[in-house]
């Protein structure tokens, strides 16, 4: 049983939880809790290291048995030490390190979401989760986005990392991807606060890349230059804007409404 915080495996977990540079260097990240680890396991994602508390929750204990039966090695950690390294308030007593890999973008994609400078981890994680729920083919992250593998993003995404194609691209690369889509180019549709067409008046059934900007700054000038059309969400109430993740949810499920009547 591991009891020392100086243990190399514990130090590795702490580094991946705390430092973006470590996650980028290793191309790995930490997932915590029975649900996330089960999702990764069911998705066929290799579990590089699994730590189990000496006092796990019943769900974590059950999952540990399933993993062990599948031939996966688990390292036991004292309950006190696990509580120290955990990134959650009420740890279930199980965590794992996984590689930064996502499903490849399918060749015939027709629905992408672009997170344009989305810096808030909670909003980014929720956007990933909502995109997966709306059956988007993938999410593109521009360089100014928050780290998609940070603990808060991973928790908020609730397993979307294992179901979505996640791509990092510049605006030049995004435009090329959309213009050179096989068969029919994809339109770039940008979410704006004003000066756009109401979303339910726009045909969202054709191939598209839907751009979501931050609540504070909106979409970038590069996104506006690339836009084929700007969309707005009509807001009869006296508010200036919506939370980025809320706005994304409305627009994403307007795509769903039109495509799956």
- Taking only the tens of pLDDT, the chain with its 261 residues reads 999 999 999 999 999 999 999 999 999 999 999 999 999 999 999 999 999 999 999 999 999 999 999 999 999 999 999 999 999 888 999 999 999 999 999 999 999 999 999 999 999 999 999 999 999 999 999 999 999 999 999 999 999 999 999 999 999 999 999 999 999 999 999 999 888 999 999 999 999 999 999 988 889 999 999 999 999 999 988 787 889 999 999 999 999 999 997
Question: Residue 132 in contact with residue 164, Cβ under 8 Å?
Answer: yes
- 138 beta partners: 112, 165
Paired sense of beta strands 165-168 and 138-141, if any: parallel
Residue 88 lies in a domain: yes
Determine contact, residues 78/72, Cβ cutoff 8 Å. no
Q: Which residues contact 54 (CB under 8 A, 6 or more apart)?
A: 1, 76, 77, 78, 79, 82
The answer as to whether 123 is a domain residue is: yes
Give me the pLDDT at residue 213, please: 95
The kind and range of the H/E element at 155 are: helix 151-157
Strand-pairing partners, residue 208, are 111, 187
Instruction: Say if 82 falls within a structural domain.
Output: yes
Range of the domain at 121: 111-259
Q: Quick one: 16 and 82 in the same domain?
A: yes
Question: What's residue 6's pLDDT?
Answer: 97
How far is 103 from 65, CA to CA, in rounded Å? 27
Q: Is residue 139 domain-shared with residue 169, that is, in the same domain?
A: yes
Between CA 51 and CA 82 the distance in angstroms is: 8
Whether 249 is covered by a domain: the verdict is: yes
Domain count, the chain: 2
Last residue in a domain, options 56, 73, 99: 99
Q: Is residue 177 part of a domain?
A: yes
Rounded CA separation 207/238 (Å): 33
Q: Report the Cα 145 to chain-centroid distance in Å.
A: 11
Cα R_g (the chain), whole angstroms: 20
Residue 238 has a pLDDT of 79
Q: Is 255 in the same domain as 191?
A: yes
Question: What DSSP designation does 99 have?
Answer: E
In a domain, 3, yes or no: no
């Amino acid at each position: 049983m591991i009891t020392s915080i100086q243990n190399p495996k514990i130090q590795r977990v702490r580094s991946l939880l705390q430092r973006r540079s470590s996650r980028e260097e290793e191309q790995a990240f930490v997932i915590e809790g029975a649900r996330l680890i089960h999702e990764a396991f069911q998705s066929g994602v290799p579990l590089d290291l699994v730590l189990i508390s000496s006092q796990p929750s019943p769900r974590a204990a059950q999952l540990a048995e399933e993993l062990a039966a599948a031939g996966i090695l688990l390292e036991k950690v004292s309950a006190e030490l696990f509580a120290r390294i955990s990134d959650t308030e009420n740890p279930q007593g199980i965590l794992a390190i996984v590689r930064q890999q996502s499903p490849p973008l399918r060749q015939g994609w027709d629905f992408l979401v672009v997170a344009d400078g989305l810096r808030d981890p909670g909003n980014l994680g929720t956007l990933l989760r909502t995109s997966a729920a709306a059956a988007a083919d993938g999410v593109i992250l521009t360089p100014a986005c928050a780290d998609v593998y940070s603990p808060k993003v991973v928790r908020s995404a609730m397993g979307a990392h294992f179901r979505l194609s996640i791509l990092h691209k510049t605006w030049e690369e995004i435009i090329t991807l959309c213009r050179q889509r096989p068969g029919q180019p994809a339109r770039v549709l940008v979410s704006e606060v004003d000066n756009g067409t109401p979303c339910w008046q726009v045909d969202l059934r054709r191939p598209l890349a839907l751009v979501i900007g931050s609540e504070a700054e909106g979409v970038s000038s590069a996104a506006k230059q690339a836009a084929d059309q700007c969309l707005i969400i009509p807001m009869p109430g006296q508010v200036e804007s919506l939370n980025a993740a809320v706005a994304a949810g409305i627009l994403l499920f307007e795509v769903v409404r039109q495509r799956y009547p």
